[in-house]
Each structure stands twice: as structure tokens, then as C-alpha cells.
Amino acid sequence: MATTQIKDGYQGGSDNQWKIGATGAGLVEVTNPSGSAGWSNFGQSTPKQVMVSDTSTQLLAANPSRAYASISNNSSQTIYIQYGIDAVWQTGFRISPGAVWIVNSMELFTGEINAITSTGSINIDVIEGVT
């Protein structure tokens, strides 16, 4: 199983990290700091790359069928995301380089998700799972 360490958001010390990994078609394993795993099951997932610039860019359109989404910042620049409104630099949720942002049933948001970076353009990996 491929696993990506989540560097932003809910985390503690080096032995206390949130992790996510794809385990097969339509299944995502999320391991929390206590070591227990939770499963999200959805019918179909769609991966894509979105070029984000220094103006607000839509990562995901509103989708009432959304069951899961991940936003992976594999660039060398920080991005900020906003739920339902245009993204503004240094406002909203910060996703550091190498970090992953998860939208799941614990805090499901089915509206539009937008992002912004400070300068230039970078590619952001996005996966959306629907029911």
C-alpha cells in the first residue's frame, strides 16, 4: 500500500501522524494518530491535476454526490484553500508543500473548493470520490 504522510492539519510528534493510502478500487484507508483505521467507501474516484496560480482557481466544483476528496500539494509552494468562496492568499486553510488535505465524512463539504498560491503557477493533485 502506498502511503502519504499528512504534514499539515491534525498531527502530533513524529510518532503521531495522520496517514492516508489507497488500498484498492474505491477504498481509502485513513490512519489516525492512535493507530486505528477508518474506511471510506465510494463508487467512483476521479483524479486530476489542477494548475493553481496567484488568482483564485477552482479545484473542485460543487458536487452533492461527493463522498471524499483529497488535495495533494506536491509543489514547493504553499497554497491556501477556501470552501465556497474565492481563495485569498494567507486566508483559509493552509496546505504546505508535500502535505495532503482530506475532505471526508467527518467534515464533508460538497460545495466548490478554490485554491491560490503566492506567485507563478503550480500543479496540484486532486481526487474526488462520489457515491
pLDDT in tens, 54-76: 999 999 999 999 999 999 999 99
Residue corresponding to grid cell 513524529: 14
Q: Answer yes or no: pTM beyond 0.75.
A: no
Segments forming the whole domain that contains residue 79: 2-130
Quick one: pLDDT band at residue 104, thresholds 50, 70, 90? confident
CA–CA separation, 80 and 59 (whole Å): 11
CATH number, residue 87: 2.60.120.770
Tally the domains of the chain: 1
State the average pLDDT for the chain: 77
pLDDT in tens, 17-42: 444 444 444 444 444 444 434 444 56
